[in-house]
Structure 1
């Protein structure tokens, strides 16, 4: 590839309308196709990203088509997708969700019934919460870098990209230093805790059914710290 076709993470972020950290997060998780220079810097194909940015802005490419490109790519930087284009379940709880000071919570959970339960319970609390939900790890990672939640509630047994991979990507980007993370899982709690501690000790792993009282306590702690 010619040198003039090289694109840095910062340039890719500018063209696709996201932050450089989001680009790095997507690359670390395997969503973005990229390669590294001998000095360890990520590079993308500038022409590919420019073309894709044009197609996204014009609406010529749908989220499913972008995902297909990622899965079928044979060369670096063929599969870039914008978080703005992902088809998420996004439920805000109620008017206070959009108000200043609302706690931004992202829930990544593949069971639709549990997603509804999260939304209904958070709404019932009457706390200022801005909720974003994703039904699989792929979708959740696309949105996570842009939404930048204060609290992430994460299932582990997810389609496409599992919860362990999400935790590893967050740790690599230093994002676990800036958010609260609660893992809620139906898997063996002790085994999960050991695996999670190997990445970042201290992350709270809780068993299903959903421990809403523990989640509420964490939300109230975030609010009290402001």
Structure 2
């Protein structure tokens, strides 16, 4: 029976991420688990392996970057994660961001569920987040990231059809969060990418 139950550390080893990422996914409901009376997380090996299969089958490209890897420096690409459920917009993001001639690596996720998986795998420097999505929405993504204190390590741009007031009624935004209403302001995104490159 013991080999059918995983600790956070063992689950992290099987998934190729950090234990903190496992906790993030557990908080967001991506990975089913429970807590012992002592407060330690436990997961069934079957649920961990199912998530591992989901990650492999849901890959958007070659980006096997462990969450524990160091951030790129110098001219290395800025890692950008776009979480947007509109496939037309995700294609537009992909084509536009890669057309600038800047050192960027763009990963696309079509809902909050996949977005949180990619946060753990890809460790983005810039997260571009839509708010209204099926399953896990942008609000839940932000709360999960805040709970694991992962927002401090990345730049967050909320780009949504909602008003800033509508967003702030549901979630508090820190001073480092950029809020923009759609349509997508690609010039502002480019300026943000350039500022990240300059600040390294």
TM superposition score category, shorter chain reference: 0.7 to 0.9
Q: Which has the higher contact order (CA 8 A, sep 6+)?
A: 2
The Cα RMSD (Å) is 2.4
Describe the shift of the 1:83–1:127 C-alpha distance in structure 2 as closer, same or farther (beyond 3 A). farther
Q: How far did residue 145 of structure 1 move?
A: 0.6
**Residue by residue, what CA displacement relative to the aligned partner does 1:160-181 show, whole Å, maximum 9, x if unpaired?**
1101000011111111010011
Answer with 211-220 or 83-92: which moved more.
83-92
1:142 lines up with 2:113 in the alignment: no
Q: Which residue of 2 aligns with 1:62?
A: none
Cross-structure match for 1:208: 182
1:105-116 aligned at under 5 Å gives the runs: 105-116=80-91
The structure carrying a bigger helix percent of its residues is: 1
Cα shift at 1:105: 0.1
2:86 pairs with 1:87: no
Call closer, same or farther: CA 1:15–1:87 in 2, change over 3 Å. Answer: closer
Larger Rg: 1
Cα 1:175/1:82, change in 2 over 3 Å: farther
Report what 2:156 is aligned to.
181
Distance 1:34 1:184 in 2: 32
From 77, 80, 104, the counterpart of 1:102: 77
Shift of 1:89: 3.5
Long gaps (5+) in structure 1: 54-65, 67-79, 93-98
Residue 191 of structure 2 is aligned to residue 222 of structure 1: no
Q: Supply the distance in 2 between the matched residues of 1:12 and 1:194 (Cα, whole angstroms).
A: 36
What count of residue pairs does the alignment treat as equivalent?
189
Alpha-carbon distance, 1:21 to partner: 2.0
C-alpha displacement at 1:115, in angstroms? 1.0
- SS of aligned partner of 1:130: strand
Q: Distance in 1 between matches of 2:157 and 2:54?
A: 23
Q: TM-score, normalised by structure 2?
A: 0.84
> TM-score, normalising length from structure 1?
0.75
Contact persistence 1:104–1:150 (CA under 8 A): yes
Change in CA separation of 1:208 and 1:91 when aligned onto 2, cut-off 3 Å? farther
**1:84, distance to aligned residue in structure 2 (A):** 3.9
